[in-house]
Amino acid sequence: MFTTAELKELQSRKQALLAQSELRRCMLQLECAQLALAVGWVDRGLRLVKALSPWLKLAAPLAGFFVIRKRSRLLDLWAKGWGGWRLLRRVWPVARTILEGEE
C-alpha cells in the first residue's frame, strides 16, 4: 500500500502538524489572557454603573433643570429666531397665495 519512504514522510508531516497545532494553542491561550486583561475594566465599569444607577436616576432631572436655567440670553435669542424662521417658512406660501389673490 505505502512504501517505507512515504510512511516516514507522512509520520514527519504528522509530527510537524502536531507541533504547529501545539504552538498555535499556546499562542491562543496567551492572546486570551491578554484580552481578558485589556477588557477587565468593562466589568468594573458595569458594576459601578449598576451601583450608581439609583443615584443617577435622581441626578439626571436636577442636572437638566440646572442646564436649562443657565442658558445664555444669546442662545435664547437664537432659539426664538430659529422658531420664527421655521414658522415663516410654513406660513409664507399660504400668505403669498392670499396676497397674490388680492391683486
Instruction: Give the residue carrying C-alpha cell 491561550.
Output: 29
Residue at 32 is within a domain: no
pLDDT digits 0-9 by tens, 90-101:
888 887 888 777
User: Is residue 27 in a domain?
Assistant: no
- Residue range(s) defining the domain that contains residue 82: 71-103
Mean pLDDT of 35-58: 82
Cell matching residue 91: 406660513
* In a domain? residue 91: yes
Is 55 within a domain?
no
Q: Is residue 56 part of a domain?
A: no
Number of separate domains in the chain: 1
Chain segment 26-40, per-residue pLDDT in tens: 999 999 999 988 888
What is the residue-averaged pLDDT of the chain? Answer: 83
The C-alpha atoms of residue 43 and residue 36 are separated, in whole angstroms, by 10
CA-to-CA distance for 43 and 45, rounded, in angstroms? 5
What one-character-per-residue DSSP string does 24-93 give?
HHHHHHHHHHHHHHHTHHHHHHHHHHHHHHHHHHHHHHHHHHHHHHT--HHHHHHHHHHHHHHHHHHHHH
Q: Is residue 58 part of a domain?
A: no
Q: Is 5 part of any domain?
A: no
Cα gap 44→51, rounded to integer Å: 11
Cell 509530527 belongs to: 15
